[in-house]
Each structure stands twice: as structure tokens, then as C-alpha cells.
Amino acid sequence: MDQGHIRIGVIGCGGFGLYALQQFVQIPGVRLTAMAGTSREASRAAAHRFGVPDIEDVDTLVHRDDVDLVYIATPPFLHHPQAMKALRAGKHVICEKPLAMTVAQADEMLAEARRGDRLLTANLMQRYNPVSDAVGRLISEKILGEPIHAFFENYASDENLGPDHWFWDRSKSGGIFIEHGVHFFDLFEGWLGRGKVVAAQRGIRPGSAPPIEEQVQCTMRYANDVLVNYYHGFHQPGRMDRQEMRLVFERGDVTLFGWIPTLVKVHAVADEAQTRALCDLFPGARLDSTSTYAPKDRACSARHQTLDVYQTLELTWGEGVVKSHRYGELLRAVMADQVAWIRDRSHPRRITETNGRDSLAIACEADRLAQL
């Protein structure tokens, strides 16, 4: 480090790489010094944007004295070899998801990082979302009782993923579970703990040659038999791209909208104390009472338990939040957290090297079962 600055060298700088860098360099003491691994016109424009004079080859970048941290924003099949070069050159690494293509590759990367006391983090920014924090508290504080079931449905656009795009090439992307699903496997593990994949399937686009895997789904079992269904499909026009997560509890459910959730809706039966707890958890939310119950009607039952219910309510939180702005907040939070650890090894990070490894392990198992 130069006078406390963290100097970044980026490998790969397409549309997302540029977007992320614009967030990363807003962290005090972080600046971009080098760029490598791409020759696209958009990347040259990005280099000009940040005042980087030349786009270099990867080997040159990782050995530069004025690079402390390497940010890897290339397709998944390049993550392992490029990260290993950077780590062996003594650089810290932040890598786009997935961390690697296989668990064996990830373990090799982790071992090298630990050997050199270097940072190695996959950019799993979902855990930094205040929505994620609120759901975590909803579960841990049992405001709506115990969780029972959940699902994630991702109806994604393929409008910018032409037939020759690397995304469809499993040797380059790893498949949908590995390339995309790791975000949500990690998110639910943060909420529910470790889980096990119990079933998985995939769907091939009719008439595609070579075959295009356009949709996958799996079921995971968590503690107390909480079953969670994950679906990812890349087959929609861009204007129809949409995602939804729902967690079902004993007293109601919470639904999150968007692949980076900003909008939350709660549908529940609650007594006065639970209503207050929900309002405290989601400050500024709109609360609509659908039904209120007289004292003689308050008792109801579920799961062979008697419940005391004051009202059925609908709570809405997050209206007006701009998704792209929230996305930027999360990226800045990732970089600030990791930089704090580089400067002080006692800093407790929200995501560490194990998040990338463990979410990849789940994705690989789901992918294996889907191929059977």
C-alpha cells in the first residue's frame, strides 16, 4: 500500500466491471491504477474514464508494484487461473461470482490466499442489503413464528445473451446454478444456516443446437425441515425480467421483489406486540389492516397451536428505492468491508473467502443432480 491507499488493478472491464469500479473507487483511499485482460472498445473508454493510460496483459498487471488488490471481472472459467496468478504475486483478490468453476479450484485458491495472508473474496453483495438484514432478524427473533418454506423464482432476460455468448457454454460459465445461483444459495445460508440439496432438474431449450440449458431448479432442505425451492430461467425479453422471493412462516409470509431486493411485502396475522415488532423492523413502512378481530374472535389455530390474533395486516416497505442506487450501495459496502480487513486483520467481515467456496459447493451439487 502507498500511504494507506489501496491500489486496484482490474482484469476485464465490460459493462458490469465499469459499473462496479465506479462504486469501488468511491471508498476513501481506494483508487484504480491498472487494467488488463480486455481489448473491447468499451474497456478502452473505461480506461480513459479513470485515467489509466494502457491496457496491459494479465501477467504484467499482477506483478506491478503499484497494484495491491486485483479485481477480477472476467467470465467464470478465467477466475481460477487469474486469481492464482494474482495471489502468487502477493496481491489481494476480489473476484466476481462464482469464485471458481469447481470446489477443488476454490480450495486451491483459498489455500494460496491463506498461505500468503491475502484477501480472497467473491463479490456476493446480497448479504450487505438492509433487506437481507431485516429478513434475518425476522427469522432470528421469530416475529412471525418459525420459518416453514421459501422459494426464489428468477425469470431472467436472455435478450443480451446471443446464441454464441459464453453464458451458454458450460465450459466457460459452469451452467446457470454455478454462474448465477451462488448469490442466492449464499443469501439463504445466511438466513437459515447450512442446507442440503435434495433434488435438482434442468430444462433444455427446444430445438437448440448445441443444447442450451435455459432453466434449472432445485430443492434444498434446511434445519427443522425448512424446504426451499430455487428456480432460474433465462428466457424472457428484457422488459419482462423479474424475480421474487417468498418466505412462509407460521403467522404469515414475507415477499421480496427484484434480484437485488428493494421492495418488501408482509402478509400476516399478528397481535399488538407482533405488529409493533414488524413496524420497528421495517421503519417507515406502510401498514394496512385488512381485518381486525373482536376479543371473542381473536383465537385461531395452526400447526396444532392456538394463536392470538388482533389483525390481519399487509405491510409494504421500500417503495421508491431505486434498484441501481441500492446496487451501488451494496458494491461500496463490499469494498469498504474488505478494505477494512486489509488494513486491520481483526476486522470481522460480513463475507469472507468461505462464502464463495461454500455457495459454489452447493451450486456444484445442484448442477450434478440436475445432470442425472
Give residue-wise pLDDT tens across range 343-372. 999 999 999 999 999 999 999 999 999 999
Over residues 194-220, the mean pLDDT reads 97
- Answer whether residue 1 shows pLDDT above 70: no
- Confidence at residue 281, expressed as pLDDT on a 0 to 100 scale: 98
- Rounded Cα gap, residues 332 and 339, in angstroms: 11
Q: What pLDDT is recorded for position 358?
A: 98
Is the pLDDT at 39 greater than 70? The verdict is no
Residues 6+ positions from 202 with CB-CB distance below 8 Å: 175, 176, 213, 215, 216, 217, 370, 371
Identify residue 33 by its one-letter amino acid code: T
Mean pLDDT over the full length of the chain: 95
Q: Is the pLDDT of residue 3 over 90?
A: no
pLDDT(40) > 80: no
List pLDDT tens digits, range 149-180: 999 999 999 999 999 999 999 999 999 999 99
The DSSP symbol for 250 reads T
Confidence band (pLDDT; 50, 70, 90) for 18? confident
Residues forming beta bridges with residue 139, ordered by sequence position: none
Strands (E), the chain: 6-11, 30-36, 55-56, 69-72, 92-95, 120-122, 147-157, 196-204, 213-222, 226-236, 242-249, 252-257, 263-270, 286-292, 299-302, 305-308, 311-317
- Residues 245-262 pLDDT 10s: 999 999 999 999 998 999
What is the tens place of the pLDDT at every residue in 119-154? 999 999 999 999 999 999 999 999 999 999 999 999
Q: Which domains does the chain have, with CATH numbers?
A: 1-122 (3.40.50.720), 127-262+321-325 (3.30.360.10)
SS3 55: strand
Give yes or no for a cis peptide into 210 (omega within 30° of 0): yes
Which residues, in sequence order, are bridge partners of residue 106?
A: none
